[in-house]
Structure 1
Amino acid sequence: MTTGLFIIAHEPLASSLRATALHAFPDSAGAIAAYDVPAGHDTERYLHDAEALIAAMPTVETLILTDVIGATPANLAAQLVKQGRRRALAGVNVPMVWRAHTNAHLSLDDLWTKARDGALAAVQPVVTPPPQNQAQKASAHASNDRHHQQ
């Protein structure tokens, strides 16, 4: 069985993450749905809209990915997991979505763990690469007799 992925986040993040997933996996449109929560306070309507999107997915189980714990999308995700075979995970990022999609064949619990681990493993320091012309600078210093390295 394949688990569906449902991304619910502040507008326009959910649809942007879905578009990024479909860029990498263009044949996956039916397995990944997204709902952009608009600014406002109509949480009943937002919940109804999200439920309708999940119901339209051709899957039995759903992993719900959301952005910020405590915010409206995550609060809606908490309501969504009360029905059906669903689990939710906050802190969504591109590696989380990709990891979840490529492991959608796993059980819902194992998929939740893979998605979480993918997101955590992706948080890395960005290292500044060495200058491209480093060899040229070294030879320029060697030819300058008055230059002394310290």
Structure 2
Amino acid sequence: MSGLLLIAHSPLASALKAVAEHTFPNCAPQLAVLDVTPEMSVETVEAQARALLAAAGHEDSLVLTDVFGATPCNAAQRLLDVQGHVRVIAGVNVPMLWRSLCYAAEPIDALVERASEGGSKGIVLGHAPEPINDKTS
């Protein structure tokens, strides 16, 4: 089973964990979270993230972040390794998180694919209903 770590601007990481606990109470404990506050440096976030990954003890880990190019993602990218044991996906949303929880037992490559697919397919544009024709025959 792959470890799951969510690094996001405070309070998003904790809020998403609460959503995970509400929907998948048996899966949510495998999710570690790190809320990044404005005063935290990339180095601080990286150190805390490494500690969370080490404490989880998984061979492979998927790290989800909120925004590419921001401190949470920049710190997460420092966790990447040549062997591919740590993967990072930026742009976390609820469908991506739920898929990650549901498929965490799959090999890391499959988990990354499912998480990415869940994130992109979870974005759906709503359409207004068609107007009703009021003419009577």
Would you call these one fold, judging by a TM-score over 0.5?
A: yes
1:77 aligns with 2:66: no
- For the pair shown, the structure with the greater C-alpha radius of gyration is 1
Quickly say closer, same or farther: Cα 1:30–1:121, change in 2 above 3 A: same
Where in structure 2 are there 5+ consecutive unaligned residues?
A: none
CA distance in 1 between partners of 2:64 and 2:25 (Å):
19
Deviation at 1:83, TM superposition (A): 7.7
**1:26 matched to which residue of 2?**
25
**1:123 matched to which residue of 2?**
123
State the TM-score, normalized to the length of structure 2: 0.87
Where in structure 1 are there 5+ consecutive unaligned residues?
A: 143-150
CA distance in 2 between partners of 1:59 and 1:30 (Å):
14
Deviation at 1:43, TM superposition (A): 2.4
8 Å contact from structure 2 (residues 42, 74) kept in 1: no
| RMSD of aligned Cα (Å) | 2.1
CA distance in 1 between partners of 2:110 and 2:116 (Å):
10
Deviation at 1:60, TM superposition (A): 2.0
CA distance in 1 between partners of 2:22 and 2:40 (Å):
32
**2:102 matched to which residue of 1?**
102
Higher RCO (CA-CA < 8 Å; seq separation 6+): 2
**1:88 matched to which residue of 2?**
88
8 Å contact from structure 1 (residues 30, 57) kept in 2: no
**2:43 matched to which residue of 1?**
44
